Amino acid sequence: MNWISNYVRPKINSLFSRRETPDNLWTKCDECSTMLFHRELADNLNVCVNCGHHMNITPRERFASLFDGGTFAEFEAKAPIADPLKFRDQKKYPDRLKAAQKKTGEKDAMLLGYGDLGRTKVVMAAQDFGFMGGSMGMAVGNAIIAACEHAVNMKCPLILFSAAGGARMQEGILSLMQMPRTTVALQMLKEKNLPFIVVLTHPTTGGVTASYAMLGDVHIAEPNALIGFAGARVIEQTIREKLPEGFQRAEYLLDHGMLDRVTKRQDMRDELISIVRMLMKLPPAIAADLEPPAKIEDKTKKSEVAKK
Amino acid sequence: MQNYLEFEKPLAEIEGKAAELRAIASQSEDEMNVEKEAGALDKKAQTILVDLYKNLTPWRKCQVARHPDRPHCKDYIENLFTEYTPLQGDRVFGDDTAVMGGLARFDDQPVVVMGQEKGNDTTSRLHHNFGMARPEGYRKAIRLMDMADRFGLPVVTLVDTPGAFPGRGAEERGQSEAIARSTEKCLQIGVPLVSCIIGEGGSGGAVAFATADRLLMLEHSVYSVISPEGCASILWKDAEKMREAAEALRLTAQDLVKLGVADTVIPEPLGGAQRDREQTFVAVKDAIASSLKELSGKKPKQLIKERRQKFLDIGSKTLA
């Protein structure tokens, strides 16, 4: 550190900091470190154009890329009691929640949408890893219950995109209780013989994997997604040996019989349409008949988010 | 030889002195009357014990719940049930020795009983993998619950586990799927399901057994989404903050009843279940019997409906 970096640089920075352009025009791929231009990356659904690495995608972006025309009706679940345990670690739980809400613009870690997928009505639920690690608390549990109820009412399939580090510790036992709660909701769906398709995205671990993410009729994962119950570090400490390459990755789970398929994000829409229509005993979709999905950046224009 | 917990140190000292005094007296050839002194020490120890256990902090409760001398699943099965016939294997891969279960009679009524066994010495602890089940354990539980459902037998589960085993093979054979299916099975069976947390209810490994019509918890047992140490190392970035974490997690039986997660707290003898096993067995037996009685006569559909509703309703109660 010298006077240039301490004094001059902040001054220069303050002069140039008010730029009109967004500061994240370029994103570095986590895998291959290629610098990716935001438009190119968005066109490719946040998949690295160089190495094919699947980066995080927000639930809204995902829905826009899947529903016909990028249009869906958002619906909300019953809001849970906020901070039931008055939990406080180094920060208060409500403060962590507020920070996550500000960062993502969402109320909690699960977004619900209803609309057409290849001219087939579906309910979709997507977990937001950007919201407190996608963690499963009362809000996520209520969202899954609402998604199942909506699917039952509309007699349509439920497609769920999982992404979470696990249960939300700040809700203590109540977060753990989302394992049985969501299971009850899924049973209502299954009893009506409606398909439940899980798409496991990076990462899906802990109590989320050990409940709804492993109870699908069909399990699809995105390439290289981390999927497991216990964390790799905990396992290494317990068994005192190095874990094999690719352990707990989607392809590894596919080899071990836990998944049906590993599917690239770009192919997900076509594949979901095909599976959903077969399970619903509908005739095959005719590709030319379908409206192409919206590009991510057009989402504000195209998706008319209707609140129920 | 009695094991003492760290916070019981003052107690250990006094009780040790009393025992020593009696030992000396019994060994010496002269007639020594130490009963007066020893009695005084006993009295003092009793006062300390009452004091220590009057208001156990959540972290101390965790320690009591993990006490090595605490009665374990096997002890309860032996003392509360008759004709226990262990059944083994998941019919897929193997048998998990962390989970014991089978047919038995409870007050002459045939039931399926199962639970995690932690073991009580190094050999048995290793044999039972410290009560940490692998996928085979959960799949065995599913099998036994299916059987109970087919033959209309009530299910009693005894929960005592630090959590599901974090191992390579366990992951490869679908630990998550096995836990998810076991929880699902708990919600599907049309027979009464009564669960008792006798020690530690560790996260998903416990949920797979404890998703029941009635959840009973021993006074000093705990049930939590994560161990206080794990929570402390993640949220406080310091595993030594487990006292704060235990406090914040609200994992005690008393708090869980307030939250509507547990139904009944079973009182323990003063100083914890290990200090008077007989009394503990009687209390647990009574609690299980009265829960089973409440549930008997209900039709399968009604049982399933009420059980599901119970879980859907969780979250509407607060601690206040």
Give tens-digit pLDDT for B94-130.
999 999 999 999 999 999 999 999 999 999 999 999 9
Tell me the residues of chain B between 282 and 311 that have a Cβ less than 8 Å away from chain A: 308, 311
In CATH, the number for domain A57-307 is 3.90.226.10
What is the structure's pLDDT at A176? 96
Which pLDDT band holds residue A297 (cuts at 50, 70, 90)?
Answer: low
Task: Give the whole-angstrom CA distance, residue A34 versus residue B126.
Answer: 49
- For A233, the token pair is 């570090």
The minimal CB distance from B167 to the residues A86, A180, A235 is found for A235
| CB of A55 less than 8 A from some CB of B | no
pTM for this one? 0.89
List pLDDT tens digits, range B205-215. Answer: 999 999 999 99
Tens digits of per-residue pLDDT, B167-201?
999 999 999 999 999 999 999 999 999 999 999 99
Angle between helix B175-186 and B135-151 (nearest 10): 20
| Euclidean distance between CA atoms A99 and B260, whole angstroms | 29
In the predicted model, is pLDDT for residue A11 greater than 80?
no
- In this structure, which amino acid lies at residue B242? M
Query: How confident is the model over A219-247, as a mean pLDDT?
Result: 90
* Pairwise CB contact (< 8 Å): B207 & A234: no
CA distance to partner chain B, nearest, from residue A140 (Å) = 12
Query: Nearest CA to CA, how far is A229 from chain B (Å)?
Result: 5
Supply φ then ψ for residue A132, to 5 degrees: 45, 45
Residue A261: strand pairing partners:
A220
* Residue B223 CB neighbour total at 10 angstroms: 29
Judge: B248–A172 Cβ closer than 8 Å, yes or no.
Answer: yes
pLDDT tens for A139-198 read: 999 999 999 999 999 999 999 999 999 999 999 999 999 999 999 999 999 999 999 999
Question: Which of B173, B177, B183 is facing A183, going by the closest CB pair?
Answer: B183
Among A11-20, A133-142, A231-240, B10-19, the least confident range: A11-20
How many of the other CB atoms lie within 10 Å of CB of A49?
A: 14
Contact B184 A183 (CB under 8 A): yes
Per-residue pLDDT, B268: 95
Work out the percent of chain A whose per-residue pLDDT is above 90: 69
Confidence band (pLDDT; 50, 70, 90) for A306?
very low
CA B242 to CA B320: how far, in whole Å?
Answer: 24
Report the C-alpha gap between B19 and B32 in whole angstroms.
14
- Cβ proximity of A118 and A285 under 8 Å: yes
**What's the pLDDT score for residue A197?**
97
- Letter string b/e over residues A168-199, b meaning 16 or more CB atoms within 10 A of that residue's CB: bbbbbbbbbbbbbbbbbbbbbbeeeebbbbbb
- Judged against a pLDDT cut of 60, whether residue B283 lies above it is answered with yes
What pLDDT is attached to residue B299? 96
Tens digit of pLDDT for each residue in B4-22?
A: 988 888 888 888 888 888 8
SS3 B102: strand
- For residue A2, give Cα distances in angstroms to A7, A13, A208: 8, 16, 49
Segment 92-151 of chain A within 8 Å of chain B by CB: 138, 141-142, 145
Tell me, yes or no, if A169 comes closer than 8 A to chain B by beta carbon. yes
Distance from CA of B74 to the nearest CA of A (A): 25
The arithmetic mean of pLDDT across residues B257-282, rounded, is 94
The full set of domain ranges for chain A reads 22-55, 57-307
For chain A, percent of residues with pLDDT exceeding 70: 85
pLDDT of residue A9: 64
Mean pLDDT over each residue of chain B, to the nearest integer: 93
Cβ-based burial of B219 (10 A; exposed 0-12, middle 13-18, buried ≥19): buried
DSSP-derived 3-state class of residue B194: strand
- Count Cβ atoms below 10 Å from residue B147 Cβ, excluding itself: 16
Residue B25 burial (CB count, 10 A)? 16
Q: Which residues from A are below 8 Å from B252, CB to CB?
A: none
The answer to whether the annotation marks A156 as part of a ligand binding site is: no
Identify which of A138, A141, A173 has the shortest CB distance to residue B223: A173
Q: Is the dihedral of CA A287, A292, A296, A299 positive or negative?
A: negative
Query: Which token pair is B173?
Result: 């054979």
Q: Are B22 and B6 in contact (CB under 8 A)?
A: no
Contacts A87 to B, Cβ<8 Å: 248
In angstroms, the CA B155 to CA B192 distance is 6
- Partner-chain residue, chosen from B234, B245, B311, that has the shortest CB–CB distance to A184: B311
> Looking at residue A304, what is its pLDDT?
45
- A90, A173, A184 ranked by CB distance to B225: nearest: A173
Contact state of B249 with A184 under an 8 Å Cβ cutoff: no
Q: Inspect the interface and report whether the beta carbons of A181 and B312 lie closer than 8 Å.
A: yes
> Does residue B31 have a pLDDT over 80?
no
Q: Per-residue b/e over B48-72, b at no fewer than 16 CB within 10 Å?
A: bbeebbeebebbbbbbbbbbeebbb
Of residues A63, A33, A32, A58, the one with CA closest to residue A46: A58
Structure ipTM over 0.85, yes or no: yes
Euclidean distance between CA atoms B110 and B28, whole angstroms: 54
Q: What is the pLDDT of residues A249-284, one digit of tens each?
A: 999 999 999 999 999 999 999 999 999 999 999 998
Reply yes or no: is the peptide bond before residue A203 cis, omega within 30 of 0: yes
The pLDDT assigned to A298 comes to 46
Residue A51, annotated as binding a ligand:
yes
Token pair for residue A51? 């190495």
- Predicted confidence at residue A290, as pLDDT, reads 58
Rounded CA separation B299/B319 (Å): 33
Q: Are A230 and B177 within 8 A, CB to CB?
A: no
Q: Is the per-residue pLDDT at B159 higher than 90?
A: yes
Write the DSSP string, chain A: --HIIIIIHHHHHHHH---SS-S-SEEE-TTT--EEEHHHHHHTTTB-TTT--B----HHHHHHHHSGGG--EE--PPPPPSSTT--BSSSBHHHHHHHHHHHHSSSSSEEEEEEEETTEEEEEEEE-TTTGGG-B-HHHHHHHHHHHHHHHHHT--EEEEEEESSB-GGGHHHHHTHHHHHHHHHHHHHHTT--EEEEEEEEEEGGGTTTGGG--SEEEE-TT-BEESS-HHHHHHHH-SPPPTTTTBHHHHHHTTS-SEE--HHHHHHHHHHHHHHHTTPPPPPGGGSPPPPPGGGHHHH------
Contact residues on chain B for A246, CB-CB shorter than 8 A: none
* pLDDT score, position B1: 62
Domain boundaries along the sequence of chain B: 7-54, 62-312
Amino acid at A308: K
The C-alpha angle B236, B237, B238, rounded to 5 degrees, equals 85
Within 13 Å of residue A13, how many CA atoms lie on the same side as its CB?
7
Mean pLDDT for the stretch of residues B215-224:
96
Strand partners, A88: A92
For residue A301, is pLDDT > 50?
A: no
Does the annotation place A148 within a ligand binding site?
no
Contact by Cβ (8 Å): B229, B239: yes
Banded model confidence at residue A6, pLDDT cuts 50, 70, 90: low
Q: Considering only alpha carbons, which residue of chain B is nearest residue A244?
A: B168
Name every chain A residue with its beta carbon within 8 A of the beta carbon of B314. Answer: 174, 177, 181
Average pLDDT, chain A: 88
Residue B140 corresponds to which tokens in the numbers above? Answer: 């065995």
Distance from CA of A146 to the nearest CA of B (A): 11
Which residues of chain B does A209 touch, with a Cβ-Cβ cutoff of 8 Å?
Answer: 176, 180
Cβ atoms of residues B217 and B253 within 8 Å: yes
Contact B315 A174 (CB under 8 A): yes
Residues of A with CB below 8 A from B174's CB?
A: 214, 256-258
B45-59, B71-85, B133-147, B155-169: segment of lowest average pLDDT:
B45-59
The answer to whether A226 touches A202, Cβ cutoff 8 Å, is yes
**Residues A36-78: tens digit of each pLDDT:** 898 888 889 999 998 999 999 999 999 999 999 999 999 999 9
> Within 13 Å and on the Cβ side, how many CA atoms surround A305?
14
Q: How far apart are the first and last CA of chain B?
A: 42
The topology (CATH level 3) of B62-312 is 2-enoyl-CoA Hydratase; Chain A, domain 1 (3.90.226)
Strands B193-202 and B222-224: parallel
